């Protein structure tokens, strides 16, 4: 992917896709606050970037996973008519943007790898194979694609295994299942039998050794196989077993070195994030990869922390500079942070820790100079509720129903 640097003080036109994500709002404010013009293309009717003062124009585009060609036609029309300099996908629509990479990059710089590379990273099984091939640590894993393979997980010789089961394509840990060594054999067999219809050759799952330890998340921007921005943060507060809602940076050299080796080996260019487990005495294991923006963006703030990475990657690469957030940075999604806190608080000590964390963190949506996205969250929630009722899915699944990519051709 050819991405040239832009002159530092030149006003560029930036278009973000995936305006529904709070990370997109932070990026929009970041580019706006450093003097750039920001546009957003989004298939959701309501989203936090829609009403932000940081965004000059919003464009409603077709749902990428149901009408990919119309989606790409609209994007191409926007980047040409608005003279877009840089296009940055943020959510899972990146896979559909990548399908049109050749046509879009004739008009602007596009921050996405080719679809073939994205697909390998997004598929939890192919990612494991890729990491192994480069000598990087991942949990012991196997692909499950038939009912027979699924039911063998209940075999007597496997009853002492603790396993994590998840679809090869999934998000937010919304469909993760656990098998414990403490489970009675009959309970284990019933559990597997009740869930086996989810597994088919077209929708395989991954059975992975369960590792106990500290959760570590990373977010990076890489350019031609070199890190140019990076942060790591623990998963301290989360909703259920899914996404974190509180973010504080930590110095974590082993995860940084793992990521550095990975992007070097794959010559990766783009945004990339990993979920790790650090097991005491055994080291670090990568669980999965998200080749797109994730919540680590919030640690760089809305004051321009990542602008140089997207506009001047060559300069950073040549100088060997890796942008990192301030260690004092704290960010949160305030509304889910309330829910996460109350679900996890078991005593006064934990209450005190949660309240201190809440007081010192920046709410990534609230900004006294840009208040409308706060109220927009209610419209987003109402729309997700209507979608979830209509399709019989969870609220979380409803937020990505039109952009999910599950290895489709």
Phi and psi torsions of 227, nearest 5°: -70, 135
- For residues 302 and 30, is the Cβ–Cβ distance under 8 A? yes
Nearest to 35 by CA among 16, 3, 10: 10
Report the CATH number at residue 311: 3.30.470.20
Flag whether 164 is in a domain.
yes
Q: 37-78 pLDDT, tens per residue?
A: 999 999 999 999 999 999 999 999 999 999 999 999 999 999
Flag whether 1 is in a domain.
no
* 2: pLDDT strictly greater than 60: no
Give the Cα separation of 59 and 45 in Å (integer): 10
- Tell which of 363, 379, 397 closes a domain: 363
Phi and psi torsions of 74, nearest 5°: -65, -45
- Both 271 and 173 in a single domain? no
Report the CATH number at residue 162: 3.30.1490
Count CB neighbours of 381 within 10 A.
15
Flag whether 406 is in a domain.
no
Q: 250-289 pLDDT, tens per residue?
A: 999 999 999 999 999 999 999 999 999 999 888 999 999 9
This prediction has a pTM of 0.93
Point out which residues pair with 272 in neighbouring strands.
220
Domain of 94 in residue numbering reads as 13-112
- Both 169 and 303 in a single domain? no
- For residues 140 and 187, is the Cβ–Cβ distance under 8 A? no
Q: 365-386 pLDDT, tens per residue?
A: 999 999 999 999 999 999 999 9
Show the tokens assigned to 371.
Answer: 């208040």
Q: 322-337 pLDDT, tens per residue?
A: 999 999 999 999 988 9
Q: 218-259 pLDDT, tens per residue?
A: 999 999 999 999 999 998 888 766 678 999 999 999 999 999
Model confidence at 174, in pLDDT bands (50, 70, 90)?
low
Structurally, how many domains does the chain consist of?
3
- Both 238 and 164 in a single domain? no
Flag whether 380 is in a domain.
no
- Tell which of 185, 209, 233 closes a domain: 209
Flag whether 129 is in a domain.
no
- Pairing type for strands 246-247 and 270-279 reads unpaired
* 99: pLDDT strictly greater than 70: yes
Phi and psi torsions of 61, nearest 5°: -120, 160
- Both 146 and 221 in a single domain? no
């Amino acid at each position: 992917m050819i991405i040239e640097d832009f002159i530092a003080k030149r006003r560029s036109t930036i278009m973000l896709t995936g305006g529904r994500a709070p990370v997109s709002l932070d990026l929009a404010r970041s580019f706006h606050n450093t003097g750039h013009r920001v546009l957003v293309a989004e298939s959701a009717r309501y989203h936090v970037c829609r009403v932000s003062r940081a965004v000059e124009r919003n464009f409603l585009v077709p749902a990428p996973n149901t009408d990919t060609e119309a989606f790409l036609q609209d994007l191409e029309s926007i980047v040409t008519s608005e003279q877009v300099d840089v296009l940055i996908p943020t959510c899972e629509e990146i896979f559909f943007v990548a399908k049109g990479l050749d046509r879009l990059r004739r008009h602007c710089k596009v921050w996405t790898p080719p679809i073939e590379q994205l697909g390998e990273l997004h598929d939890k099984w192919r990612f494991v194979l890729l990491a192994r091939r480069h000598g990087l640590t991942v949990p012991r894993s196997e692909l499950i694609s038939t009912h027979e393979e699924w039911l063998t997980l209940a075999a007597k010789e496997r009853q002492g295994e603790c396993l994590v089961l998840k679809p090869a394509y999934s998000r937010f840990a919304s469909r993760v299942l656990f098998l414990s060594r403490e489970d009675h054999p009959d309970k284990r067999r019933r559990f597997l039998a009740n869930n086996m219809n989810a597994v088919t050759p077209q929708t395989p799952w991954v059975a992975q050794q369960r590792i106990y330890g500290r959760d570590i998340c990373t977010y990076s921007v890489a350019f031609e196989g070199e890190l140019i921005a990076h942060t790591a943060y623990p998963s301290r507060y989360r909703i259920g077993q899914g996404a974190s809602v509180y973010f504080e940076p930590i110095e974590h050299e082993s995860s940084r070195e793992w990521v550095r080796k990975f992007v070097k080996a794959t010559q990766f260019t783009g945004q990339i994030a990993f979920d790790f487990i650090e097991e005491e005495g055994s080291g670090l294991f990568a669980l999965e990869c998200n080749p797109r923006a994730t919540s680590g963006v919030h640690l760089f703030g809305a004051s321009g922390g990542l602008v140089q990475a997207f506009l001047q990657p060559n300069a950073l690469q040549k100088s060997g500079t890796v942008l990192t957030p301030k260690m004092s940075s704290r960010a949160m999604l305030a509304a889910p942070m309330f829910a996460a806190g109350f679900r996890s608080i078991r005593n006064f000590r934990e209450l005190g820790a949660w309240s201190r964390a809440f007081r010192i963190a920046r709410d990534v949506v609230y900004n006294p100079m840009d208040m409308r996205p706060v109220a927009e969250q209610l419209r987003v929630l109402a729309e997700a509720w209507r979608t979830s009722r209509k399709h019989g899915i969870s609220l979380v699944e409803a937020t990505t129903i039109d952009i999910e990519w599950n290895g489709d051709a």
